[in-house]
Structure 1
Amino acid sequence: MATSEENVLVVPRSLFDELGSFQGLRRPAEPYLEKFLLKENNSFLARSLAENDPSFKQIIPYCVFTHGDRILHYVRGSKSGEKRLVAKGSIGIGGHINDTDESQASFDQSAYHYAVKREISEELSLTGGFTERTVALINDDSNEVGAVHLGVVHIVTLESDQVSAGEKAIAELGFLTIEQLRERRDNLETWSQIVVDAWDTL
């Protein structure tokens, strides 16, 4: 077949366990990221393999956008790349890191941060500037999606609340307070639930 398959950034599950695996949210993220982003510790794997192989963790930047005291929320539409999360509410914008982000076979810190900025520019159209900080990691081994992914939580503080979706997978985009998000917690995807529950500590 001539179709070119997406390759995604992965680290061995064994490395995650060695550094200290956990369930839920863990901060700070840096001790993990420093090890994950050493070129000898990561690689790219065909997504069809990675999605079904829990011996690897796919590294997923998970960017939470804020303006004032409000948090950007959306619903994953039918065009979402992760079919298992369609129709779920989310406060995380992000996705897989692909080998198109780096011409070599593995990934380092500078390539990672470039990929995060690329992901932001693809997913959203912003009218103002922003600042971004890495705050935590998310792991959820309780379901088949979470078992093969590891989230890196970035909080992105926006200068303007004029934001629009750059992809059809993002529907019903709008800002909500943390209280409003807590009220609809049961409708959120698991990672967003974890972030909302820990919001006061981030």
Structure 2
Amino acid sequence: MREQILTIPRATVDGLIGDSRTQLLPMTEERFVEAVKGQISYRYRDEVEGDTTIKQLIAYVVVRSEGQIFGMRRLKKQTEARLHNRLSIGVGGHINTEDLAGDELTVIRHGLLRELHEEVWIPEGLPMRLLGFINDNTTEVGQVHTGICYLIDVEGHDCRVRETEKMEGVWMTPDELYAHYEELETWSQIALDAIAK
């Protein structure tokens, strides 16, 4: 069955972001709902994969515990070849029709939690805080995707990778992540810069 994913017109994202090609636009959940109201729609993934007029919305969550951030290195068995061997501090993926559940914010949160629990073992019911939109028009991946970035704090480093054949997990301080900054995916660089301020 063809997958339908949540999308937003690139012009809408560009209108929010302005001239900046790479950034995290801080946003409250209320402002997010206002910004995307009537703008998001489900489309067939195979039809929008190379369409730079459409941005695929990606639920992207950073997990933090006791001053450290959970990082994952994507191994060669992970499906997105453009991200192999890159270090990421974001967990998540596409929001699809499985996530249909109420208003825009409920759909985003449902997709985020589904993707989060598919990729990592983490306690249920943790509070989430929206950081904002991640945008990066400098890469092939970034030209057709935009991230909705959340932060979750866990106690006792209670988060680990589920699919160990696709990813390996590690806890690192912001300073340690900055020492590996060039290995970080662009979105992870953007999120780290926002969190470490």
What residue is the counterpart of 2:153 in the other structure? Answer: 157
Deviation digits for residues 164-190 of structure 1 (CA, Å, limit 9, x no counterpart): 212346522010000000000111111
Deviation of residue 129 (structure 1)?
A: 5.7
Q: Residue in 2 aligned with 1:81?
A: 79
Q: Quote the Cα distance in structure 2 between the aligned partners of 1:169 and 1:95.
A: 18
**Counterpart secondary structure, 2:143:** helix
> 1:75-114, aligned counterparts within 5 Å?
75-102=73-100, 108-114=104-110
Task: Name 1:72's counterpart in structure 2.
Answer: 70
* Alpha-carbon distance, 1:42 to partner: 1.4
Deviates more, 1:43-52 or 1:165-174: 165-174
- Which of 188, 192, 197 aligns to 1:196? It is 192
1:58 alignment partner in structure 2 = 56
Alignment deviations for residues 19-74 of structure 1 (CA, whole Å, 9 cap, x no partner): 343331211254344332x2x32111222222200111111111000111000011
SS of structure 2 residue aligned to 1:147 = coil
1:35 aligns with 2:35: yes
Structure 2 alignment gaps of length 5 or more: none
In structure 2, the CA distance between the partners of 1:78 and 1:29, relative to structure 1 (3 Å rule), is: farther
Give the corresponding residue for 1:147.
143
1:172 aligned to 168, 171, 188, which one? 168
Following the alignment from structure 1 to structure 2, what is the Cα–Cα distance between the partners of residues 151 and 169?
25
Quick one: percent identity of the two aligned structures? 32
Relative to structure 2, which stretch is displaced further, 4-13 or 19-28? 19-28
Cα distance in 1 for partners of 2:164, 2:96 equals 20
Q: What is the rounded CA distance, in whole Å, between the counterparts of 2:177 and 2:162 in structure 1? A: 23
Work out the number of aligned pairs and report it. 194
2:11 to 11, 14, 36: 14
Q: TM-score, normalised by structure 2?
A: 0.88
Structure 1 runs, 4 residues or longer, greater than 4 Å off: none
Q: Structure 1: state its 5+ residue gaps.
A: none
TM-score by length of structure 1 reads: 0.86
| Alpha carbons 2:101, 2:110 under 8 Å: kept | no
Distance change (3 Å), C-alpha of 1:175 and 1:46: same
- Give the CA RMSD over aligned residues: 2.1
* Greater shift in the superposed pair: 146-155 or 116-125: 116-125
